[in-house]
Amino acid sequence: MDCLKYHIKNVWLVRGDGSGPVRGEVLVSADGRLLSCGPSYISCGTVIDGRGKMLVPGLIDVHGHSDISVIASPGGFSKVSQGVTTEIAGNCGLSAFPLTERNREHLEELYAQYHVPLSWSSFSSYRQLLKEKECVPDLIPLCGHNTLRAAVAGYEKKTLDRAEAEEMKQLLAAALEEGAPGLSTGLLYVPGKFASPGEIIELMKVLAAHGKIYATHLASEGDRLLESLEETLMCVREAGLKKVQISHFKTAGPANWHKLDTAVDMIQSARKGGISVTVDRYPYTESMTQLSVILPGEWADLDDIAIEKRLRNSEEKRELARLLSQSRSADYWQRVRLVSTGVEKYRSSCGKFLTEIAGDPVMLAVELLALDAAGTCAAFSGMSEENLTRILQLPFCMPGSDGNALPADHSLGRAHPRAFGTAVRFLRRLLEMNVSPGEAVYRATGLPAETFGLTDRGLLRQQLRADLVLLDPEDLEDRADFASPHTPARGIIWTMVNGRIVYRS
């Protein structure tokens, strides 16, 4: 049987459908498919001894941002070292397509640190490049609403005219037909924040017609969490949409921690009403995003290039510092941590709180924005550990790292530890909560595949992709922290993508 590549023996199989573990063997074909998963009566190909450990389908990170970083780092070390073989990318409204002359320059600035020429235009030309570069994990990108809107109307604050709205719908339909699993929004970022509910509903109708999913970074995850969730569900009902993913579901800020019950009730009642609302979460209590989210008032409507331009003027710098001091309490800055920046002078301070880096954290923030608004990212504390546990317990919660594919070194910038630890920490936390191994693995494999319509993976089943992970459930431990964010997790013995072993611990 010369088409056989691997014969994996002596393993406990957890199939990704909620069942298991059971003893079994797996045969992998030379073209990267699963030939059989169960008892085996033949023995040929290269034998791999699983040493009595657990063999599971490749883990699916449903919320990543590796869109460009994976091209600069095709080995995807941060992902494959935690067993992630597929990432749903294009999240929070930010995708690498469609590109037009209206958004290309902005995205080149945003991704400048990766030195990747943005030479494609559509979903299919972008995916083709990922294939040529042999990027792992396999990226399945959503179409991002911010990129989509900017492709037709740029980044300015404006209402779309009829022709622009129509062009946007056509571009979305084209991406969906080429294989994008859905649309993502980031409704607190420019220019998504300028969209009316009507604009979103029109796009949702395109999704509904194609049977695809809407994944949303809500307009507010804190003070207006319930209103934002309510509006999303209202739009979904009006558009007749059936699948919604709430990205990095959380209650941000202690004043909003009590809102979890109501938010979960709203989701549960939508689910009872026939809408498949699902959520993802990174198992950490510090968020991370661009530092520019701290901007107050009209500053918050500027895109990165406009922020940097405006802050070349020292008068404007002083004015922004004054506004920031007014709008944020002094202790706020103790909760803001610099994670990465292109500003050379502060590279060695990454991982520290702004108050640890400078005597005047406000001026520091202004300086970082002036020099690198596009590339400076910060972490913000303010989530509840107890709510995190409760969110992870929801049977429709999946792992979403919100992180990038990165190498072990810091050549492409430093990460939030979630980029290297989410999947392993997610599994470990579930097992510690006495969720069965079958169920825990399902949440990171079968459930994400079902949710995002990936029919060729997520299960140990004949003919599916041989995306496999051999892991030791007793040894699972994420080890990355803010001081050493690129430390790989323990417990992942090897990771196989499409029949090729891409990582060994």
Contacting residues toward Zn ion, per CB under 5 A: 92, 217
Q: Which is nearer to Zn ion, 144 or 437 (CB)?
A: 144
Q: How far is the CB of 418 from Zn ion (least distance, A)?
A: 12
Measured from the Cβ of residue 70, the count of other Cβ atoms closer than 10 Å reads: 29
CB-based burial label for 4 (10 Å; 0-12, 13-18, 19+):
middle
Q: How far is the CB of 199 from Zn ion (least distance, A)?
A: 19
Three-class secondary structure of residue 173 per DSSP: helix
Q: How far is the CB of 284 from Zn ion (least distance, A)?
A: 14
Number of H helices, E strands in the chain: 17, 19
Three-class secondary structure of residue 439 per DSSP: helix
Q: Which is nearer to Zn ion, 217 or 281 (CB)?
A: 217
Q: How far is the CB of 287 from Zn ion (least distance, A)?
A: 8
> Do 504 and 494 meet the contact criterion of CB atoms below 8 Å apart?
yes
Say which DSSP state 359 is in.
S
Strand partners, 495: 469, 503
Three-class secondary structure of residue 99 per DSSP: coil
Alpha-carbon radius of gyration of the chain: 22
Chain position whose Cβ is nearest to Zn ion: 92
Q: How far is the CB of 140 from Zn ion (least distance, A)?
A: 17
Q: How far is the CB of 320 from Zn ion (least distance, A)?
A: 24
Q: Which is nearer to Zn ion, 15 or 248 (CB)?
A: 248
Q: How far is the CB of 402 from Zn ion (least distance, A)?
A: 6
Three-class secondary structure of residue 486 per DSSP: coil
What is the 3-state secondary structure of 253-314? Answer: CHHHHHHHHHHHHHHHHHHHCCCEEEEEECCCCEEEEEHHHHCCHHHHHCCHHHHHHHCCCH
Q: How far is the CB of 366 from Zn ion (least distance, A)?
A: 24
Q: Which is nearer to Zn ion, 234 or 293 (CB)?
A: 293
Torsion angle in degrees (nearest 10) through CA of 407, 411, 412, 417: 60
DSSP letters spanning 183-213: EEEETTSTTGGG--HHHHHHHHHHHHHHT-E
Q: Which is nearer to Zn ion, 405 or 471 (CB)?
A: 405
